[in-house]
A and B are shown apart, each in its own frame.
Chain A
Amino acid sequence: MTTLFEKLWMQHVVAELPGGAALIAIDRIFLHERTGSIALKSLRERGRMVVDPARVFCTMDHIVDTFPGRGDATRMPGGTAFIVETRAAARESGIHLFDVRDSDQGIVHVISPELGIVLPGTTVVCPDSHTCTQGAMGAFAWGIGSTEAEHALATGTLRVTRPRTMRIRFEGKLAPGVTAKDLSLAVISRWGSAGGNGYVVEYAGSAIRSLEIEARLTLCNMATEFSAVTGLIAPDDRTFEYLAGRRFAPKGERWDAAVAAWRKLRSDDDAQFDVEYRIDVDDLAPMITWGTSPQHAVEVTGAVPTLERSGATREAYERALAYMGLSAGTVLADLPIDAAFIGSCTNSRLSDLRRAAALLRGRKVARGVKAICVPGSMAVKRAAEAEGLHEVFTAAGFEWRESGCSMCFYAGGESFGRRQRVVSSTNRNFESRQGPETRTHIASPETVAASAIAGRIADPRRLAALH
């Protein structure tokens, strides 16, 4: 009768607290220079220590420069201080640091699975909302604030009110050109950006079993855009194969024992969830957003919905359309674009770059479109270059960058510019998220690539790979 989440919860209860809360053991803590720096600094100012530094990891991803030959300088005013202070605090506390020039540097939610830091059955926290990404490995992984990070660093635990459980079953087979990103946008547009509020959402069903690990990470990544506590996928052979031999994963006998334990991490057949939804995926199409919330998404062949069909309040609807420079009934495909961005913790892994490159090979980005690709980690970048993907991107007219969060958000440095229309493989289309008054349309890497070539929003299914 037990759900996967309840199994993870019970394995980590240190003590029950009054009112249904519990003290939960934290197995892995991740920090980054943007919000982790203040946690380390505040901890030190209060005279407290990191209780087990070997289980704490830190990366430089959020405001680190992504131009070739980078150092500590950033285009964001004051940005260097975040890097320098994080480095000093990390060294002092003895935690693992993936510094600016480290060969393992990258976006936290890309490198954590890549290095075998997140494992099935672990609890993982990070002061970053997209920590839910890592739930794809069968971990209870969720985003917290900096004060909570201090608590986890100092005590190895967090005080947590037990969340409710939801399961979404994806049944059927995805059509060619339809990806995990589209599943994610379909869920959020169907049930709203607050639809998962307060739930741990387990993604299950036949379509999930056949998803590769990187695609599962993409799906879980946007659980926070659904207002969920986190997303979760039961680990299976794909998970174990992915993790085997990774730098921080267990080895030898320990590996065998771990896998044996991990095989029990699945919801029982008769498990009871507080809420259950189901999506038949066969008929899903590539999705794209038209507004300023991830729930404002339609099929890429669709049009801006009317107020009545939008699911938004009048105020939000009118505000979103004014911001985006659109009106009801506007067909999205064929809208001219100014820029294209492939990157972020959502879609910057090797498989994402391969799929985009398959469409870009032998083609050119349309004149006047600024196109940028930022691999999610230095390991992704090296692997992509070993396959020659960087040549495909640059020959097509994309910039090819060093890894980091880059232009997923605007921190005062680089931006796309006012009222510039960007098709982006990122996760948030909020007002001014990618730059003051920048108009963001979220979509899969395939849709970004197809749109970059067309110079307008385009359906990737209509663009066959040339080679």
Chain B
Amino acid sequence: MEKFTKLRAVAAPLLRANIDTDAIIPSREMKAVSKTGLADGLFAGWRYRTIGGRDPNPDFVLNQPAYAGTRILLGGENFGCGSSREHAVWALFEFGIRAVVAPSFSPIFYGNCIRNGIVPVRLPADQIATIAAQVESDPPTQRVTVDLERSLVVAPDGSEHAFEIEPEAREMLLEGLDAIDLTLRSRAAIDAFLVRDRRLRPWIYELPRARTP
């Protein structure tokens, strides 16, 4: 996984509440069993003039020239709600987004960000609104910094906004760690748990093998 330490970049405000994963990547845009090939479908319902088409809607923030090269999204409450589809995070990543700043996230989307090198930053809505107003005055120059090492967002005017992130999530993102590799270091603990638990709850483990077709 790609490491994240600190990023200064163009940020795009998309401050509506409850931006759901159907909006981030509509199901019709998930065309193959794949984690890639999704960037074109990102926000497809809002980004293009017609359903299934590719003619850009000039009103949508990510289509505006001033927001070219956006790598940070400023969002509203309950960002990423709805379907668990990780395709939403894969599409954001492929498009170039590396951090999403919002007052709150859906728990599944939040976890998916951490497993894919996107930093989910929780800040109060009024602070995000202030940052967004600064950005909007001139997006290419009024850049936002997400500093994961110091757990800070630096607004275009230089003001610092501290955010909280779980220590485990922070370390995974900073180091670009693979969670499976990390967990397999605890193999002895897993094996010991299974030995103990098979005695306590044998019914969990006594399942028939799959029928072979």
Interface residues, chain A, CB within 8 Å of chain B? 14-15, 17-21, 23, 25, 27, 34-35, 37-38, 41-42, 48, 53-55, 76-78, 81-82, 85-86, 91, 94-97, 99, 119, 121-122, 127-129, 131, 142-148, 150-151, 154-157, 159, 161, 163, 193-194, 197-198, 224-225, 227-229, 248, 250, 254-255, 257-258, 261, 293, 312-313, 315-316, 319, 409-412, 428, 430-433, 436-437
Contacts and interface: CB of A to CB of B under 8 A. Distances in A.
Nearest to B46: A431
Point out which of B15, B17, B45 has the most chain A C-beta atoms below 10 A from its C-beta.
Answer: B17
Contacts of B86: 35, 38, 127, 145-147
Interface of B: 15-18, 20, 22-23, 26-28, 30-35, 45, 51-52, 76-78, 81-86, 89, 104-108, 111-112, 115-116, 166-169, 171, 179-180, 182-184, 186, 189-190, 193-194, 197, 201-213
Interface centre among B84, B106, B207 (most CB of A within 10 A): B84
A54 B209 contact: yes
Majority SS at the chain B contact face:
loop
Nearest to A54: B207
A227 B20 CA distance: 11
B28 A76 contact: yes
B168 A156 contact: no
Given A147-B115, A250-B206, A159 B32 contact: no
A409 B27 contact: yes
- Most chain B CB within 10 A, of A38, A91, A293, is at A38
Given A35-B85, A94-B209, A18 B179 contact: no
24 contacts: A15-B186, A15-B189, A25-B190, A34-B30, A38-B86, A54-B209, A81-B33, A94-B209, A94-B210, A96-B211, A143-B108, A147-B112, A147-B179, A151-B183, A154-B180, A154-B184, A155-B183, A193-B81, A197-B106, A224-B106, A229-B107, A250-B203, A430-B82, A432-B45
B163 to A, nearest CB: 15
Given A15-B189, A293-B18, A129 B108 contact: yes
Nearest to B212: A91
Contacts of A436: 45, 51
A194 B77 contact: yes
B167 A19 contact: yes
Nearest to A14: B193
Contacts of B208: 54, 248
A316 B213 contact: no
Contact of B89 (A77, A145, A437): A145
A21 B107 contact: no
A155 B201 contact: no
Contacts of B51: 432, 436-437
A156 B190 contact: yes
A18 to B, nearest CB: 6
B84 to A, nearest CB: 4
Given A151-B183, A250-B206, 17 more contacts: A17-B168, A48-B180, A86-B33, A97-B210, A121-B201, A144-B108, A145-B108, A147-B179, A155-B184, A157-B186, A194-B81, A229-B107, A250-B203, A258-B203, A319-B16, A428-B20, A432-B51
Given A143-B108, A147-B86, A227-B107, A430 B190 contact: no
Contact of B111 (A23, A144, A432): A144
- Find the residue from A77, A97, A159, A431 having the highest chain B CB count within 10 A: A159
A19 B28 contact: no
Given A41-B33, A197-B104, A23 B186 contact: yes
Given A14-B186, A315-B15, A316-B18, A254 B35 contact: no
